Structure 1
Amino acid sequence: MNLKIVFIAFAAALAGFLFGFDTAVISGTVALVKAQFDLSDAGIGWFVSSALVGAISGVVFSGYLSDKYGRKLMLIISGLLFFISAMGCAISGSFTELVLYRLLGGVAFGIASMVSPLYISEISPAHVRGKLVSVYQLAITAGILIAYFSNYWTSVVHQDGGMDGFVFEFLYKDEYWRGMFANEVFPVLLFLGCLLFIPQSPRWLMIHGSKEKAKQIAERYKIEYDQPVHKEEKEQMNFFQLIRGVYKRPMYIAIFLMIFSQICGINAIIYYGPTILNEAGFTLGDALGGQVTIGFVNVLFTFVAIYTIDKWGRKPLLRFGALGVILSLLMISLMFFIGGSFDSYVIVGILLFIACYAFSLGPVQFVVASEIFPTSIRGRALTISTLFLWVTNAIVGQVFPMILAGFNAPLTFLLFALVCMPGIWIIKKYIPETKGKSLEEIERFWNEKF
């Protein structure tokens, strides 16, 4: 495999790492922030989902701006926003201030969630595009795992002490949730440094008339591409054509995958993992350790997706993964319902759920959504589909603690399982296989079929 392309994909995928870290770091802070600011369940829901509201804002404008100014610039902007958010959360003087910086961080990972897989898909050879776009999801899972380690390490440092000085006292001793947020600064700086060495997408340059520069970059990095849609076609594309024209089928497929990936409850477990494990009888310290185990399984089974997605295809992974997710949710619900000594088996059900999600819905949603649209509309189309991801994510993040408190754990996870069941039929009937096809071949497929 071309090592230059691997580095470019790695650099862009670091946006996914920050996305994952920022998403998961919240889990270790929920109980601490709730106690410090005396928050209700609705207040905690807002603390968690505020970043998701910011993500919706980031997605809304990132598609248009990435189409106009380029994918690389938007990745740089997301990195700067991640930095400001991490530092701001660490030094926030009030709950309102904390939420404002969480909103800003949400804008950052809203941009990253759309632009990073889009950019990787445009620079990747067809025969390994699934693998390289899946690296983005691997980076998300790695970010989640490192955030769990970071939270656990911060809690240990808080208990043991061992360092002196104002910064340590402020971040890691008195209110150590601040240190959990501050730790994100280090990967942010790595991301911004790597972005200095990646090129613009030659496909993006082509549709903006910079054919010579696109050719030079393609030759230097051995990037394969065909002639894109003619510029006049690009200008004629509008929102209504995306949802009603030739590309309505891929548009609906992308929206379905984004919604399905969230209504299964993945981020309820990521955000509220310690809370869920507390319900099963684990202490906060044990729960944070359990989150590290969840993170390991998430990373491990994402490697399964990377290894198989360009061999088995996208559709088989989606079908088997969706079935496994539903069965795992039913198992979690049953273990909570039986209770007693069976509460400890909740973690087994959660690990099975994470494993099934990690080799299927997690990476494949981004792979399929980033490859089924033509270059000329890819940014705007991904904006719309990713917007649905974040809206659904925000709703789940907001209502989950209220559902858990108002009903109970067995009914909550049973509800997740039930709403997911129609997804298996939709995957089987409507999603085409795109394994091994160039982006231009996929575009021609839609034009010829519809």
Structure 2
Amino acid sequence: MRLNSYLLRSAIVAALGGLLFGFDTAVIAGTTGALTNRYALSPGMLGVTVSSALWGTIIGAMFAGIPGDRFGRRDSLRVMAVFYVLSALGCGFAWNWYALLVFRFIGGVGIGGSSVLGPMYIAEVSPPKWRGRLVGLFQFNVVVGILLAYLSNYIISLIAPGATDWRWKLGVSAAPAALFLV
């Protein structure tokens, strides 16, 4: 099997899960001050807020293989993309602290699931000659996602500074999540 545009596009889209992983992991760093003020968070509550996505990641990583085996990697990755979109929009429009926690947890499930399913899918569709490089694209995108999170936090703080900039910072990931869904 040769590398063609369809396979390359499939690998790039699956690797968007890595970008979203990195983005979601890092974007919270730019919101901690505003979230602390908005919800009057103690240091412990802030820790729960930041780590809520990581708890979801554990669940997603532990159980994503089950639907991946049963329904296929690609369709299961689409479900993870729905989780990402729901999380981004839910966090951006969170009406209280508990809603924020729930939506961050949902995003974490998407992170964990795509971290397992994305590289597996890429490996399955890639020709042997390109497999290592294309699977590595997922991990490369994690780092790119971290960079983009810090960059977007900076840009949003310049163009929409204030008490609600955290909503934009958390919600902006809905755009790449929608691309991952397609």
Q: What TM-score results when the alignment is normalised by the length of structure 1?
A: 0.39
Mapped to 1, the partners of 2:9 and 2:108 lie a distance apart of: 26
Which of 143, 156, 174 does residue 145 from structure 2 map onto?
Answer: 143
Runs of 4+ in 1 over 4 A off after TM superposition: none
- Aligned residue for 1:191? 180
Mapped to 2, the partners of 1:26 and 1:54 lie a distance apart of: 15
Q: What is the letter of the counterpart of residue 181 of structure 2?
A: L
Q: What is the letter of the counterpart of residue 167 of structure 2?
A: R
Q: What is the letter of the counterpart of residue 187 of structure 1?
A: P
Mapped to 2, the partners of 1:153 and 1:84 lie a distance apart of: 23
Mapped to 2, the partners of 1:190 and 1:105 lie a distance apart of: 15
- Aligned residue for 1:33? 35
Q: What TM-score results when the alignment is normalised by the length of structure 2?
A: 0.93
- Aligned residue for 1:124? 126
- 1:220-231 equivalence runs, <5 A: none
The CA deviation at 1:44 is: 1.6
- Aligned residue for 2:166? 177
Deviations 1:294-348 (A, max 9, x none): xxxxxxxxxxxxxxxxxxxxxxxxxxxxxxxxxxxxxxxxxxxxxxxxxxxxxxx
Deviations 1:26-66 (A, max 9, x none): 11011221222222222121111111111112122211111
- 1:19-418 equivalence runs, <5 A: 19-159=21-161, 173-193=162-182
- Aligned residue for 1:434? none
Mapped to 1, the partners of 2:179 and 2:6 lie a distance apart of: 18
Mapped to 2, the partners of 1:174 and 1:60 lie a distance apart of: 36
Deviations 1:54-90 (A, max 9, x none): 1112122211111111001110001111111111111
The CA deviation at 1:188 is: 1.3
CA contact (8 A) 2:34 2:163 kept: no
Structure 1: gaps of 5 or more residues:
160-172, 194-450
Taking every aligned residue pair, what percent have the same amino acid on both sides? 39
Mapped to 2, the partners of 1:187 and 1:53 lie a distance apart of: 22
Choose between structure 1 and 2 for higher RCO, CA contacts under 8 A separated by at least 6 residues: 2
Q: What is the letter of the counterpart of residue 83 of structure 1?
A: V
Larger radius of gyration: 1
Q: What is the letter of the counterpart of residue 165 of structure 2?
A: Y
Deviations 1:92-132 (A, max 9, x none): 12111111111111111111110000111111222222111
Structure 2: gaps of 5 or more residues:
none
What secondary structure, in the 3-state scheme, does the structure 1 residue paired with 2:175 have? Answer: helix
Measured on the aligned residues, the alpha-carbon RMSD in Å equals 1.4
Aligned length: 180
- Aligned residue for 2:20? 18
Mapped to 1, the partners of 2:118 and 2:7 lie a distance apart of: 14
Deviations 1:156-176 (A, max 9, x none): 0124xxxxxxxxxxxxx4411
